[in-house]
Every structure is written in C-alpha cells, then in structure tokens.
C-alpha cells in the first residue's frame, strides 16, 4: 500500500504553482507573460530575444530571476512584485483538498520559487489559507531557487525539517532531485509521468493521492 511508504513522514512540503492548484488554472501563463514583459522592458530586447533569454536562464540557473540576478545584477524585490501581480479569478476553492492536507500527520509547509506574499494570496483563493505551518518563498533561500541544493538546505534548516522524515510534492521533476538525495519521499504531481530514479511516486491528481495516504 502506498500509505506504508509514508508512514514515517512527519514533514510535508508542497510546491505551490501547478502543484496546489491544477495547471488548468493557467496562472503560470500570466506570470510567464509578465516575466517576459519585464525582461523586454528592463533589458530592452524584443519578445523573441526575451523568450530566448528566459529559456537560457531556466536551463542554466533554474529560474528567470536567478539568471537575471547572476547575469544582470537585478534587484529581486521589484521583479517579484511585478511578475506576481496577476489575477487569481481562475482559482477555485477546494475544500476536499484542504481537508486531506489537514489530515496529514505532522508539519505542513509550502515552499515555492515565487515569493511568500504571492503564495499566501494563492492559498487564500484555493481555500487553503491558514492550513500550513509555514510558507517559504525564494526570498527565504537568499533568492537562490530550487533546484539548487543550497536553496533546499536553507529553507529546511530554517524550518528545522528533517528530510529523512519528510515528503515533497512538486510538478517540476528537477526540483525533486535534491530532496530525493536528501532522503525525502518524492511525489511528482504532473499530467505526464517522467520515469526517473529520483521520483518515488507520480500522480495526476494531488488530492486523490493524498486520499490514499489517509488512515
């Protein structure tokens, strides 16, 4: 039974975007558009070049922001406020998901490469406000992003999370490599399975998966 694989888990770490809400909400489309606009304006490049730069940053540094900071010394605060200033109208409250998260034994946290104030807005719109013991954003990792090992170590140390007794839920399979290496149980939440040694479980539907973990 899948629940047996989680019987030791007392720390539950959830990514935010496309993990705690379905990709069909398309929030990330809005964020991506704002990231591209920001790159076009600040670096004075046309859209195609901005898209190319963003792909390069994502591959080389993990996120657009990490690339902008490394290659252009960008100030992360104004950037994060700008890209996360989006409409949450497409998010629906999910009280079943809320109940299933609440039922997990131990500490529950959110860890996103976005910023924590944005995460709090999203959680509120999903009916998940007040459910988590802590919400961490990229600012809590010194603006170093997942998938960097140092980012996970900084956030987990701040939370006093013990990886050997924790599980991580994420839609970006890259962000499960280090959690797996640190001894966490890993769950890839995504429309398509990516068979890889660092992925213990795959699910299309986070809520349904959590239902299988209930006693």
- The residues of the shown chain that bind Mg ion, judged by CB under 5 A, are 15, 17-18, 171
Give one DSSP letter per residue of 111-148, joined into a string: E-SS-HHHHHHHHHHTT-TT-SSEEE-GGGGTTPPTT-
Least distance (Å) from Mg ion to the CB of residue 8?
25
Least distance (Å) from Mg ion to the CB of residue 147?
11
Judged by CB, which is closer to Mg ion: 10, or 121? 121
Judged by CB, which is closer to Mg ion: 8, or 178? 178
Least distance (Å) from Mg ion to the CB of residue 15?
4
Judged by CB, which is closer to Mg ion: 67, or 114? 114
- The token duo for 39 is 């790159």
Judged by CB, which is closer to Mg ion: 15, or 94? 15
Least distance (Å) from Mg ion to the CB of residue 52?
22
Judged by CB, which is closer to Mg ion: 110, or 166? 110
Judged by CB, which is closer to Mg ion: 159, or 171? 171
Q: Which residue is nearest to Mg ion (CB)?
A: 17
Strand order in the sheet with 107-111: 134-136, 107-111, 11-14, 166-170, 185-189, 201-203
Give residue for tokens 């497409």.
90
| C-alpha of 148 from chain center | 13
Least distance (Å) from Mg ion to the CB of residue 114?
9
Contact of 24 with 190, CB cutoff 8 Å: no
Q: Prior bond to 147 cis, omega within 30? A: yes
Contact of 106 with 11, CB cutoff 8 Å: yes
In the chain, DSSP finds a helix count (H) and a strand count (E) of 9, 6
Least distance (Å) from Mg ion to the CB of residue 16?
6
């Amino acid at each position: 039974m899948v629940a047996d694989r989680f019987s030791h888990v007392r720390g539950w770490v959830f990514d935010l975007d496309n993990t705690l809400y379905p990709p069909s909400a398309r929030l990330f489309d809005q964020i991506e558009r704002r990231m591209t606009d920001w790159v076009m304006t600040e670096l004075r490049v046309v859209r195609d070049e901005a898209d190319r730069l963003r792909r390069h940053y994502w591959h080389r540094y993990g996120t657009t922001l990490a690339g902008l900071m490394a290659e252009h010394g960008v100030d992360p605060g104004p950037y994060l406020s700008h890209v996360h200033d989006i409409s949450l109208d497409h998010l629906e409250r999910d009280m079943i998901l809320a109940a299933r998260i609440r039922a997990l034994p131990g500490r529950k946290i959110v860890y996103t490469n976005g910023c924590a104030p944005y995460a709090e807005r999203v959680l509120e719109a999903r009916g998940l406000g007040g459910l988590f013991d802590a919400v961490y954003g990229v600012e809590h990792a010194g603006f170093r992003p997942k998938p960097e090992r140092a980012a996970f170590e900084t956030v987990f140390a701040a939370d006093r999370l013990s990886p050997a007794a924790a599980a991580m839920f994420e839609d970006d399979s890259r962000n499960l490599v280090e959690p797996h290496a640190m001894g966490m149980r890993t769950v890839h939440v995504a429309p398509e399975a990516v068979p890889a040694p660092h992925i213990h479980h795959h699910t299309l539907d986070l809520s349904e998966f959590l239902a299988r973990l209930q006693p």
